[in-house]
Amino acid sequence: MLLIRCPHCGPRNQDEFAYGGDATVKRPADPASASDSEWHAYIYVRDNPRGPHEELWHHAAGCRRWIRVRRDTLSHRILATGPVHGPLAEEEGR
Amino acid sequence: MNGQPFRNPSGGLIDRARPLSFTFNGRRHAGYAGDTLASALLANGVRLVARSFKYHRPRGIVGAGAEEPNALVQLREGAATEPDTRATQVELFDGLVAKSQNCWPSVGFDLGALAGLLASALPAGFYYKTFMWPASWWPTYEHHIRRIAGMGEAPRDRDPDRYDYRHAHCDVLVVGGGPAGLAAALAAGRTGARVILVDEGAALGGSLLGEQAVIDGRPALAWVEETVGALAAMPDVLLLRRATAFAYNDHDMLAIVERRFDHMASPPPFETRQRLWLVRAERVVLATGAIERPIVFAENDRPGVMLVSAARAYANRYAVRAGSRAVVFTNNDSAYGAALDLARAGIEVAAMVDVRPDGGEAARRARAAGIRVLAAHGVLAAHGGRSVEAVSVAPIDGTGRAAGRAERIDCDLVCLSGGWNPAIHLFSQSGGRARYEPAIAAFVPGTSVQAERSVGAARGSFALADALAEGLAAGATGAAEAGFGDGAVPPAPGIDRAVEAPMRPLWAVHGVGSKRAKRFVDFQNDVTAADIALAVREGYRSVEHVKRYTTLGMGTDQGKLGNIQGLAILSGLVGADIPAVGTTTFRPPYTPVAFGAIIGHATGADFDPVRRTPMYDWHVRRGAPFVNTGLWKRAQVFPRPGETVLETIGREARAVRTSVGFVDVSTLGKIDIQGGDAAELLDRLYINNWKKLAVGKARYGIMLREDGMVFDDGTTTRLAEDHFFMTTTTANAVRVMSMLEYVHQVHWPELEVHMTSVSEQWAGVAIAGPNARNVLSRLTSDIDVGNEALPYMGCAEGTVAGLPARVFRISFSGEMAYEVNVPSDYGAAIMDAIMAAGEPFDIIPYGTEALNVLRIEKGHFVVGPEADGRTTPDDLGLSGMVSKTKDFIGKRSLSRPALTDPERKQLVGLLTVDPGERIPRGAQIVEDPSHPLPCPMVGQVTSTCFSPNLGRSIALALVKRGRSRYGERLYAASPVAGRTVEVTVVHHVFIDPKGERLRV
Amino acid sequence: MVKYSIFSLLRNAVSNHENWPEAWRSPTPKPAYDVVIIGGGGHGLATAYYLAKEHGITNVAVIEKGYLGGGNTGRNTTIVRSNYILEANAHFYEFSLKLWEGLSADLNFNVMLSQRGVLNLAHTDADIDAHSRRGNAMRLNGIDAEFLNREQVKAFVPLLDCSENARYPIMGGLLQRRGGTARHDAVAWGYARAADARGVDIIQNCAVTGIRREGRRVVGVETERGFIAAKKVGIAVAGNSGVVAGMAGLRLPIETHVLQALVSEPVKPVLDCVVTSGAVHFYISQSDKGELVMGGDLDFCNSYAQRGNFPAIEHVIRSAVALFPSFSRLRMLRLWAGIMDMSMDGSPIISKTPLDNFYVNCGWCYGGFKATPGSGWMFAYTIAKDEPHPINAPLSLDRYISGRVYDEKGQGPTPWAH
């Protein structure tokens, strides 16, 4: 079970969190002017790296904040965590 | 009972003051406290204990611990029976009952052994090559294969025992209570760190329990006792005995099963049988020891063929002679000390067969003790049937081939030591890659990827002095890294270090003679060296292919003995070094773990938590049965004596249309939203406009997913300029809240708005029906419930029945209705008050069934059947709600080609052409039911009921171009129900299409 | 190819099985092929087999970075079924199931298709509606389906807890009798042997390191053993689809997630069919060897690790014991994980791509194993003809742009929810 450091609460077990997927997805500023293809990319196309991945987690059974986590999808090692909009703090250890 | 003929009169760690009686295969035997089932069987001279999986060969006890591949028994009886249980790890208790499995009629005379006669036609993977003709016979073949396979019998009844579950944190977790583990725990414990020491055995000491080592000039067990005493006295040290760390998960979370009372006939009252520990450790020390490995030769599976370490443990720890006359076959020094122990225990050591030309100092000492040592020799074959009777021994060359005349040596015990494999299972599970160490011809832990250290035999340091030194160092360092102590390593106790001669890798002896002789690599699955050769011959050369093709290592012992031999034999066949051929990754669990232990108490009715509304007890008092809605229990109906369920539903639904009823709606999601941008947030979420909603007014809203599909619906009320109260569906309460937080925190953090779930703060009850106002007016004096002061979609705050309340004039049933919210604690009180106030109007409570009937009559879609995640607002006939002037979640998706396709399915109503017929549930809509299959479908029935108010069957359906089909006749086909009904397409609102009843 | 049969087994028994030929060759890769398939799992090998068998294209290489069938082909719960409600899926999986039914004979390799029935439990009234709807769609699509009531379920699966006080009482179930299980490894090996016999080169232990493009055309693959030119390149690499497509500069609507499964120690027969429950996200069967094979949900976060975590396992076992209380004392023997190519609508992709001569086969979610024959057949067709067959035409990549997706569970573009 992962140990995720919530920037607001500290390290917590994975089961307090819900996964939110790719954190790099940006909602088009003006959806009406987005092409079908651009809109499709926003809805359906995600970063899916084999390695470090920027992702969102929701501290659902905690502070209810969405947070950003950089996690290696191959080793499950957590490299950095932080708020959704803000600097990530590097993690040591796990 | 007999006299335990193979038990020595003294010695061992058993408690002779506590004799025990047990039954094996129907015969009563005696043993002592401290015995395992295996040691007690051997003490009684029972050597044939099992039959093998495929050929049903007679098998005996090979090991003394977790590595045991053969001695699997059916332990206990009835509901508590446990198949496939390793006799070597069963602590004996009084009254224990066990029997051999996978044999008929008995383990001694097993008809299944006929398979052995066919063995030559049953090589590895034979089943891939046959049973194909005729194809229709395969189910019959398979039926018989299934009966022959399997091993023990599963219990048929509910587990009589209970289990529990604990989470724990510690600074240093030490796995293994042998010398290295004890040393590590001691060093860490002395710093004040929180230490957990886990050992699978009942007694701490590990390998020292079965050997006769000396530490600081005293018997090693004195050191063990002293160390355990010191640890037990430390307040922050937890010793877990009978506990197996079976899984090393991510981020240093280890799963441990503690077998609390398996050593008793049944757990004491109120106690759990086993406990699962999930331990998150700052640092982990793996002191899991090593497992001795056998050497492959012909007929090497005869009962009486055993690991040296096992025979030694039986002699030293249990005072049991595993045989009378032994041949010890080794490729390393460790067997010599064991042989001396065996001799001391009264077993005649007929010969030490050493594959090495020179056994060095150890061999000289054995000779000095009068033991015949045959250097550069090997055992070619074992002889015997249900027990080994002799071995053929011959000089061998460096590759394990016989290089001289064979000699037959009579013996009833053959002890094998092909070297030792560090138990790197947990290291491997932690994600670390093993490294091959040629000096010991074994895999050892490579670079760590998690916060663990392997010490002692687990990392290939087999000498006791090294184990202690490494343990102390790892304990001290681990504690220091976790913030305790300065890392200084305590001095190691004094150990005499013997000069060791190097081991010589030898995996298999290649005899001469019959090619039919079987040379087993994996005992449990009957995988032979020839099977591996066949796999390679056929192109299955990857180690994984060999495993899968031959089933090597796929038994319940997970190849603890056979995998490395298999790998080595494979490496010889393909002409590559062992490390180039590869290793197999060890996966959890280290040893099999009872399902019950993994789930703790979360079983039966406690499988998932139950959510109950504040009115739950009120419903119970009225005899309501409950239905599951997600985790919720909701009252289904409120039956009167003598009514059928259908009659109750009809009565409840009619009462709402004709007078008044009330229903618990507390399960709806409720979200309090406040802030200057609250209206802006709603505007971006809902498909309709919110900014102009007046204070004190409610509005119905629909949310989409970003892909344009309807996600959720509900009414939201503006309580103040900057304060809204949102309701969601029951099913999506959690998801909507998360979505709100997501869009706010991720997309639009600049919005000044806050939200909190208040689902459980409010109890909700809807009073619905033409008399709803009359009932409510009797309950409140400070809220004007008249149609002008509180019109449809209005909201008021005040008191109801003397309770603080919010009243919303909203309706799901289509009738005039008020939804009253009071603080949760008053849930039962408000129900009582409404019941009393409604008495003059014959008010009735109604349940989810009538609620559903009423909404179908009214044509309200719900999330699930109609809004199934594939429907747009337009599909549901709600395109009029969609704002043209603003963006909202999902809007852009609505203009994609597939979402504007005129062929899309649209929400319609259905009536049967024959009013007496019922529309089958889950029917598909077809235009021509006589069309040959596949028959095109134009839609599906989403919800159907018998409408008590219309007196006929009605349905909601999603039908292609549905709104253009009003009046058209179609068919509701239900092949699974065997019925097809002709239906007419109508508008989906069956009752009061203009919505007049709502507004009266 | 030496024909496998009881006669050849007996004949070889006389010679101690020392004369069996290789099931497939281990050729050195040629400099160029008509078609290169990346991925030597069931799907890739089946594709090569059907390219040769159905389209006469035999100058084909299957390139596998590890050993054949070492990915999800060897890491699943072996369930075979076609009980889908959406037409695109129903027609595809039924096509696949029909291929399964003749597969052992076609390949002359016993894949042990065991049509012992797949029973999908209904726990609520809403489940009964949903299962009836699905069963009716199946029947009208020409697929077998029956709805069993509680008593029939109890009789069909005696050890199921059908009592009222279960947390999720069983109210019935949708049974597809033609569903069941098959021997997973045998599928890869059978296809490999049959493809090899038709001239396909199977190249193991050869990782693809790049995909060479000339403009919009794909012209070959870079491998650990050098460049291999190809007139057409198809990928069938499951959880690695994003990584491999990325080598060609393509981003796919795929996320990679880990799915775990486990088996109990083997016991004599106690469960004679496949039981699944949507309400608790769980599926279980008993293998011919006697092990109870079970699985459940994903781990719910992107992963390429082929190792999962404990919560998902706990949930699987909780489900097993809730449905089968007597299994509580059986033991977990082995657990493993595979990396799933989760598509954005839960349905697969067998498709041409925006690049010429480059084809993708991915998005299998939980459904890859049962799809193996159909997937290979359709992918071979799509590659050979450079256009999809009518059955896989709906399963194309461009459906995500048009919005014509096949969201079987209605969960939207949340791949870990499918």
pLDDT in tens, B65-99: 999 999 999 999 999 999 999 999 999 999 999 99
Nearest-CA distance B955 → chain A (Å):
34
Based on the domain organization, do C302 and C401 belong to the same domain?
no
Based on the domain organization, do C157 and C245 belong to the same domain?
no
pLDDT band at residue B512 using 50, 70 and 90 as cut-offs: low
Q: What is the Cα–Cα distance from B614 to B611, expressed in whole angstroms?
A: 10
* Contact between C145 and B976 using a beta-carbon 8 Å cutoff: yes
- Residue pLDDT, tens place only, C53-103: 999 999 999 999 999 999 999 999 999 999 999 999 999 999 999 999 999
Query: Cβ contacts (< 8 Å) between C254 and chain A: which residues?
Result: 48
Residue in chain A lying closest to C250 (CA): A45
Residue C62 inside a domain? The answer is: yes
Mean pLDDT for B507-530 is 88
* Contact between B83 and C330 using a beta-carbon 8 Å cutoff: yes
Residue B495 inside a domain? The answer is: no
Query: Cβ contacts (< 8 Å) between A30 and chain B: which residues?
Result: 887
Query: Cβ contacts (< 8 Å) between B544 and chain C: which residues?
Result: 67, 70, 74
Q: What is the Cα–Cα distance from B319 to B31, expressed in whole angstroms?
A: 11
Query: Cβ contacts (< 8 Å) between B746 and chain A: which residues?
Result: 20, 56, 66, 84
Nearest-CA distance B769 → chain C (Å):
26
Q: What is the Cα–Cα distance from B675 to B682, expressed in whole angstroms?
A: 11
Query: Cβ contacts (< 8 Å) between B934 and chain C: which residues?
Result: 91, 140-142
* Contact between A75 and B746 using a beta-carbon 8 Å cutoff: no
Residue B596 inside a domain? The answer is: no
Query: Cβ contacts (< 8 Å) between C249 and chain A: which residues?
Result: none
Does residue A8 belong to the interface with chain B, where contact is any CB pair within 8 Å?
no
Bridge-partner residues for B531, per DSSP? none
Q: For residue C373, what are its two tokens?
A: 């024959």
Which chains pack against C, by 3+ Cβ pairs within 8 A?
A: A, B
Query: Cβ contacts (< 8 Å) between B602 and chain C: which residues?
Result: 314, 318
Query: Cβ contacts (< 8 Å) between C182 and chain B: which residues?
Result: none
Is residue B135 over pLDDT 50?
A: yes
Q: What is the Cα–Cα distance from C369 to C111, expressed in whole angstroms?
A: 12
Predicted complex ipTM: 0.98
> In this structure, what CATH number is given to the domain that contains residue B702?
3.30.1360.120
Mean pLDDT for C339-351 is 97
Based on the domain organization, do B146 and B16 belong to the same domain?
yes
Based on the domain organization, do B135 and B18 belong to the same domain?
yes
Based on the domain organization, do B38 and B97 belong to the same domain?
yes
Is residue B773 over pLDDT 80?
A: yes
Query: Residue B681: what pLDDT?
Result: 98
Residue in chain A lying closest to B749 (CA): A85
Q: Among all chains, which residue has been given the structure tokens 């441990």?
A: B256
pLDDT band at residue B120 using 50, 70 and 90 as cut-offs: confident
Query: Residue B513: what pLDDT?
Result: 63
Residue C11 inside a domain? The answer is: no
Based on the domain organization, do C226 and C314 belong to the same domain?
no
Based on the domain organization, do B6 and B86 belong to the same domain?
yes
Query: Residue B2: what pLDDT?
Result: 54
Based on the domain organization, do C71 and C194 belong to the same domain?
yes
Could you confirm whether domain A3-90 is CATH 1.10.1740.10?
no
* Contact between B892 and A39 using a beta-carbon 8 Å cutoff: yes
Based on the domain organization, do C265 and C409 belong to the same domain?
no
Nearest-CA distance A46 → chain B (Å):
14
Count CB pairs under 8 A between chains A and C. 68
* Contact between C331 and B81 using a beta-carbon 8 Å cutoff: no
Residue B511 inside a domain? The answer is: no
Residue B138 inside a domain? The answer is: yes
Based on the domain organization, do C34 and C155 belong to the same domain?
no
Nearest Cβ partner of A48 from C256, C400, C416? C256
Based on the domain organization, do B286 and B342 belong to the same domain?
no
**Considering Cα of B922, then B923, then B925, then B926, what sign does the dihedral take?**
positive
Nearest-CA distance A25 → chain C (Å):
13
* Mean pLDDT computed over every residue of chain C: 96
Query: Residue C181: what pLDDT?
Result: 97
Residues 6+ apart with CB under 8 A from C351: C359, C360, C361, C382, C388, C392, C395, C396, C397, C398
Based on the domain organization, do B920 and B942 belong to the same domain?
yes
Based on the domain organization, do C206 and C162 belong to the same domain?
no
Is residue B596 over pLDDT 50?
A: yes
Based on the domain organization, do B187 and B134 belong to the same domain?
no
- Residue pLDDT, tens place only, B17-50: 999 999 999 999 999 999 999 999 999 999 999 9
Is residue C414 over pLDDT 60?
A: yes
**Which residue, of C340, C373, C396, is where some domain finishes?**
C340
**Considering Cα of B332, then B335, then B340, then B341, what sign does the dihedral take?**
positive
Q: What is the Cα–Cα distance from C209 to C252, expressed in whole angstroms?
A: 18
Based on the domain organization, do B410 and B434 belong to the same domain?
no
- Residue pLDDT, tens place only, B319-339: 999 999 999 999 999 999 999
pLDDT in tens, chain A (94 residues): 999 999 999 999 999 999 999 999 999 999 999 999 999 999 999 999 999 999 999 999 999 999 999 999 999 999 999 999 999 999 876 6
Q: What is the Cα–Cα distance from B961 to B970, expressed in whole angstroms?
A: 13
Is residue B511 over pLDDT 80?
A: no
Nearest Cβ partner of C302 from A36, A53, A75? A53
* Contact between C304 and A74 using a beta-carbon 8 Å cutoff: yes
Backbone angles phi, psi at B935, to 5 degrees: -100, 125
Based on the domain organization, do C103 and C247 belong to the same domain?
yes
The more confident residue out of A92 and B222 is B222
Residue in chain C lying closest to B277 (CA): C310
Residue C4 inside a domain? The answer is: no
Residue in chain A lying closest to B247 (CA): A1
Residue B330 inside a domain? The answer is: yes
| Total Cβ atoms within 10 A of residue B634 | 26
Query: Cβ contacts (< 8 Å) between A2 and chain B: which residues?
Result: 250-251
**Which residue, of B366, B401, B418, is where some domain finishes?**
B418
- Residue pLDDT, tens place only, B240-286: 999 999 999 999 999 999 999 999 999 999 999 999 999 999 999 99
Q: Tell me the residue range of the domain where B923 lies.
A: 902-999
Residue C245 inside a domain? The answer is: yes
Residue B265 inside a domain? The answer is: yes
Based on the domain organization, do B558 and B429 belong to the same domain?
no
* Contact between B251 and A39 using a beta-carbon 8 Å cutoff: no
**Which residue, of B99, B131, B159, is where some domain finishes?**
B159
Does residue B749 belong to the interface with chain A, where contact is any CB pair within 8 Å?
yes
Residues 6+ apart with CB under 8 A from B145: B127, C288
Based on the domain organization, do C263 and C149 belong to the same domain?
yes
Based on the domain organization, do C325 and C189 belong to the same domain?
no
Query: Residue C306: what pLDDT?
Result: 87
Based on the domain organization, do B222 and B330 belong to the same domain?
no
- Residue pLDDT, tens place only, C208-261: 999 999 999 999 999 999 999 999 999 999 999 999 999 999 999 999 999 999
Number of compact structural domains in chain C: 2
pLDDT band at residue B622 using 50, 70 and 90 as cut-offs: very high
Nearest-CA distance A71 → chain B (Å):
12
Peptide bond into B105 cis (omega under 30): yes
Number of compact structural domains in chain B: 6
CA geometry: angle at B952 spanning B950 and B956, to 5°? 90
Which chains pack against A, by 3+ Cβ pairs within 8 A?
A: B, C
Does residue C255 belong to the interface with chain A, where contact is any CB pair within 8 Å?
yes
Residue pair C269/C288 in contact by the 8 Å Cβ criterion:
no
Residue C223 inside a domain? The answer is: yes
* Contact between B251 and A94 using a beta-carbon 8 Å cutoff: yes
Based on the domain organization, do C281 and C351 belong to the same domain?
no
Does residue B252 belong to the interface with chain A, where contact is any CB pair within 8 Å?
yes
Nearest Cβ partner of C253 from A19, A44, A50? A44
Bridge-partner residues for B662, per DSSP? B767, B845
* Contact between A66 and B742 using a beta-carbon 8 Å cutoff: yes
Residue in chain B lying closest to C170 (CA): B628
Query: Residue C109: what pLDDT?
Result: 97
Query: Cβ contacts (< 8 Å) between A22 and chain C: which residues?
Result: 255
Please tell me the total number of residues recorded for chain A in this structure.
94
Based on the domain organization, do B139 and B185 belong to the same domain?
no
Does residue C181 belong to the interface with chain A, where contact is any CB pair within 8 Å?
no
* Contact between C129 and B943 using a beta-carbon 8 Å cutoff: yes
Residue B882 inside a domain? The answer is: no
SS3 of residue C355 by DSSP: coil
Residue in chain C lying closest to B591 (CA): C333
* Contact between B887 and A32 using a beta-carbon 8 Å cutoff: yes
Mean pLDDT for B647-657 is 98
Residue C144 inside a domain? The answer is: yes
DSSP assigned state of B135: G
Query: Residue C418: what pLDDT?
Result: 84
Q: For residue C30, what are its two tokens?
A: 């040629």
CA C406 to chain centre: 18
Nearest-CA distance B704 → chain A (Å):
13
Nearest one of C149, C148, C145, C122 to C134, comparing CA atoms: C145
* Mean pLDDT computed over every residue of chain B: 96
Q: Tell me the residue range of the domain where C250 lies.
A: 27-82+84-109+184-254+345-417
- Residue pLDDT, tens place only, B190-199: 999 999 999 9
Does residue B609 belong to the interface with chain A, where contact is any CB pair within 8 Å?
no
Q: What is the Cα–Cα distance from C304 to A32, expressed in whole angstroms?
A: 36
> In this structure, what CATH number is given to the domain that contains residue C159?
3.30.9.10
**Which residue, of C286, C318, C340, is where some domain finishes?**
C340
> In this structure, what CATH number is given to the domain that contains residue C373?
3.50.50.60
Nearest-CA distance B418 → chain C (Å):
26
Query: Residue C117: what pLDDT?
Result: 98
- Residue pLDDT, tens place only, B436-461: 999 999 999 999 999 999 999 999 99
Does residue C242 belong to the interface with chain A, where contact is any CB pair within 8 Å?
yes
Nearest-CA distance C405 → chain B (Å):
8
Based on the domain organization, do C362 and C223 belong to the same domain?
yes
Q: What is the Cα–Cα distance from B331 to B354, expressed in whole angstroms?
A: 6
Query: Residue B1: what pLDDT?
Result: 45
Residue B707 inside a domain? The answer is: yes
Nearest Cβ partner of C412 from B155, B554, B869? B869
Nearest Cβ partner of C309 from A1, A36, A73? A1
Does residue C256 belong to the interface with chain A, where contact is any CB pair within 8 Å?
yes
Does residue C344 belong to the interface with chain A, where contact is any CB pair within 8 Å?
yes
